């Protein structure tokens, strides 16, 4: 019989290209991983891993074994999941990574919908920047990510699922140009912009398309902080409409900008991710989300 831990060690070494990285993922020592690979090679009677410079890669036999090993590991995970409810009543766990705005204004409703369908589902959420979240997805430290696109990675599957319009935001009572403010109009205002990843790149690109450069007097990593400052009359901003659905009792004036500005939110998972029932329910609820 094949040993599941040995197969898992082999898959990790191939995916990460390193015995050390595979050991870090599994939380064991590098010699322990090396021993697992050696025992598996002895069991099968073939060499499975070769070195190309500093990178470990599968031999021809290893490349042949890889899809079988992944399938075996996936089926074992599915078996354990199927038995878990009978063992202790737990229905599963989903680990989600996301940015700040989606975690506040989108995920709670999607999570509530998923737990309504599957009451025993355990869901954890990690907040971080897009690069950090995607690294955790690739390392299988998270099951699913909700991030502002673009997002890419050789082992990742990306699905756009929600279009979020970016709006001009001003203190209550501010005069908005008919049809919405353009880049030239906003450049003349005291601007406070979100200092964060793809959303900021989208905003900067909108100004650049008009031949202008955004010149914010203040930059923040929190959309909620910017909303409070705008409400206090300290300036204007451009923020995701998702974060403006529940305005502070009308303390903000909002308007689409001209031309229209949107960002895409996407669901990101590993291509080889085993879709447990809990994970399927969360993905379904995200796809059904309407602000």
Query: Which SS3 state, helix, strand or coil, does residue 19 take?
Result: helix
Contact 265, 147 (CB under 8 A): yes
Percent of the chain with pLDDT over 70: 96
Per the CB < 8 A criterion, the answer to whether 147 and 134 are in contact is yes
pLDDT at 119: 82
pLDDT for position 88:
53
Residue 93 has pLDDT above 60, yes or no: yes
Sign of CA dihedral 40, 41, 46, 52: positive
Predicted local confidence at residue 248, as pLDDT: 53
Judge whether residue 103 has pLDDT over 60.
yes
Helix (H) or strand (E) holding 197: helix 197-209
Q: pTM value? A: 0.68
Q: pLDDT (tens digit, 9 = 90+) per residue, 44-74? A: 999 999 988 788 999 999 999 999 999 999 9
pLDDT, position 195: 81
Lowest mean pLDDT among 30-34, 77-81, 120-124, 199-203: 77-81
* Contact present, 40 and 48 (Cβ < 8 Å): yes
Predicted local confidence at residue 89, as pLDDT: 40
The mean predicted confidence, pLDDT, of the chain is 90
């Amino acid at each position: 019989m094949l040993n599941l831990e040995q197969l898992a060690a082999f898959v990790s070494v191939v995916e990460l290209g390193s015995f050390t990285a595979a050991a870090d993922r599994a939380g064991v020592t590098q010699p322990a991983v090396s021993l697992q690979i050696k025992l598996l090679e002895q069991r099968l009677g073939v060499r499975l891993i070769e070195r190309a410079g500093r990178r470990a890669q599968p031999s021809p036999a290893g490349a042949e074994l890889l899809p079988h090993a992944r399938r075996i590991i996936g089926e074992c995970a599915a078996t354990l999941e199927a038995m878990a409810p009978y063992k202790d009543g737990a229905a599963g766990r989903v680990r989600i990574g996301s940015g700040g705005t989606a975690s506040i204004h989108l995920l709670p409703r999607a999570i509530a919908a998923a737990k309504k369908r599957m009451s025993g589902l355990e869901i954890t959420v990690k907040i971080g920047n897009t690069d950090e979240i995607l690294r955790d997805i690739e390392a299988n430290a998270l099951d699913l990510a909700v991030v502002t696109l673009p997002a890419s990675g050789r082992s990742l599957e990306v699905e756009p699922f929600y279009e979020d319009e970016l709006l001009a935001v001003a203190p209550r009572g501010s005069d908005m140009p008919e049809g919405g403010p353009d880049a030239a109009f906003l450049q003349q205002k005291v601007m406070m912009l979100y200092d964060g990843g793809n959303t900021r790149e989208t905003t900067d690109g909108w100004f650049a398309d008009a031949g202008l450069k955004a010149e914010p007097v203040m930059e923040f990593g929190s959309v909620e902080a910017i909303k409070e400052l705008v409400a206090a009359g300290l300036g204007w901003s451009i923020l995701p409409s998702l974060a403006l659905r529940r305005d502070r009792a009308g303390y903000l004036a909002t308007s689409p900008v001209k031309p229209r500005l949107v960002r895409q939110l996407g669901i990101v998972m590993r291509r080889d991710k085993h879709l447990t029932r809990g994970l399927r329910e969360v993905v379904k609820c995200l796809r059904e989300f309407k602000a």
